[in-house]
Amino acid sequence: MKSMQKKMTLWILLAIFILVVTGVLSFLSQPSFGKQPSGERLERIQRSPNYRNGMFQNQIPTPMMTGDGNRWQALWKFVFGNHKGLRPEKAMPAIRTDLKQLPQKSNLMVWFGHSSYFLQVDGKKILVDPVFYAAAPVSFINKPFEGTDIFRPEDMPNIDLLIITHDHWDHLDYKTVKELRKKVSKVVCPLGVGAHFEYWGYHKEQLIELDWGEECQYSNLIVHCLPSRHFSGRGLSSNKTLWASFLLESASLTLFLGGDGGYGPHFRQIGKRFPSIDWAILENGQYSKDWKYIHTMPEQQEKVISDLNAKRVVTVHHSKYALSNHPWDEPIKTAEYLRERKKQNVSIPMIGEILLLDIGQP
């Protein structure tokens, strides 16, 4: 009798295990997780000097976790820990600008919260890391702050360049880019990220994948792909696609798009190579001492600006989602401190506000 009960228990446990594994595999097989690079794309990746031991590498050693626990322990602590102060208690102020009625001759930026923003540079329309639906595999995990979720793909004009800095969920949203496909002329992204776009219905001719140090030209714009200190991945495997910062050069402006990443020697290298950066759009948020090398800490912001020698600065990666354990408004206070106490030329626009980029304009 006991032997039968043991066998029955084992069969029940085995059935539960099979159901769990099947459920996980089914979840991971959703189209939103994208595709890993393969074929000619993988062969090109394997020739990259930044790809070693089966994955992309940072310029300098970069441990992902720097606290007491591992990645999953940190996630558990964040999800089930103290959430006080992580989200605003009232709606964020925002302006619902009509992006289809912008002054055509102005160079400008409109920030959508977190790391999503629109640029108009010398008449060209550029959209960076748009996330208008979900910044996580399941939307209920990471809801936007009240008042920030006011833009959708249908609000976008036709886009000359869609720039993606890396394939994390809070920078590359499946539903957003699917709905944007017919509006986008070209996608510029780091090596490997094009595999997701091709899987999601974009044509090869739309995709421009770049390694660090490579560049492309679109009409009167030159786009340089540059290093950042970060990582990549949408599922269980990491660093199969590249992460990057970008620099845009036009006849009238030079803009540095920082993407995500921690402090490193690449900022000084970029500042020396491009000594006339008009605007730097820098990550400022979702940092933690538990992962201090893959996101820029507040005390490092002044050093980044100095290394780049940027004339003006806007900070992003904040004010829409809580992805770390710092107070939601701490990044804004950091930007204010840099502007008021350190006399840095830092602009702090509201979500949806038009920020004019031409030097000399208010």
**80 backbone dihedrals φ, ψ, rounded to 5°:** -110, 5
Domain 108-356 has CATH 3.30.70.100: no
Asked if 159 and 183 touch (Cβ cutoff 8 Å), the reply is: yes
3-state SS class at 112 = coil
Q: What is the mean pLDDT of residues 325-330?
A: 96
d(CA 61, CA 57): 8
230, containing H or E segment: none
Which residues are bridge partners to 223 per DSSP? 216, 248
d(CA 333, CA 24): 40
d(CA 118, CA 138): 25
pLDDT at 3: 67
**Residue position matching structure tokens 């992580």:** 86
**Digit-coded pLDDT (tens) for 11-50:** 566 566 665 555 555 656 699 999 999 999 999 999 999 9
d(CA 356, CA 362): 7
* For residue 334, pLDDT beyond 90: yes
pTM: 0.92
pLDDT at 4: 65
CA nearest to 302, candidates 329, 331, 328, 334: 334
Q: Residue 206 region, left (φ>0) first, then alpha (ψ -120 to 50), else beta?
A: alpha
Burial 58-78 (b: 16+ CB within 10 A, else e): beeebeebeeeeeeeebeeeb
* For residue 5, pLDDT beyond 70: no
pLDDT at 140: 77
* For residue 342, pLDDT beyond 70: yes
**Percent of the chain clearing pLDDT 70 (strictly above):** 87
d(CA 170, CA 323): 9
Asked if 176 and 169 touch (Cβ cutoff 8 Å), the reply is: no
Confidence at 138, pLDDT banded by 50, 70, 90: confident
Question: 8: which 2 tokens?
Answer: 């029955």
pLDDT at 117: 99
pLDDT at 141: 79
Mean pLDDT check: name the lowest of 66-70, 83-87, 203-207, 347-351.
66-70
CA distances from 7 to 14, 15, 17, 20 (A): 10, 12, 15, 20
d(CA 110, CA 356): 9
Q: What is the mean pLDDT of residues 279-302?
A: 97
CA nearest to 194, candidates 209, 174, 181, 214: 209
pLDDT at 362: 47
Question: What ranges in the chain are assigned the alpha helix state H?
Answer: 2-28, 39-46, 71-80, 174-180, 194-199, 266-273, 301-308, 330-340
Asked if 321 and 78 touch (Cβ cutoff 8 Å), the reply is: no
Asked if 334 and 296 touch (Cβ cutoff 8 Å), the reply is: no
**Residue position matching structure tokens 């539960």:** 16
Question: 248: which 2 tokens?
Answer: 């845009």
Question: 290: which 2 tokens?
Answer: 């538990």
**Digit-coded pLDDT (tens) for 41-100:** 999 999 999 999 999 999 999 999 997 766 666 666 666 666 789 999 999 999 999 999
pLDDT at 14: 58
**Digit-coded pLDDT (tens) for 155-198:** 999 999 999 999 999 999 999 999 999 999 999 999 999 999 99
pLDDT at 308: 98
* For residue 249, pLDDT beyond 80: yes
CA nearest to 319, candidates 164, 116, 120: 116
Asked if 216 and 244 touch (Cβ cutoff 8 Å), the reply is: no
d(CA 111, CA 129): 11
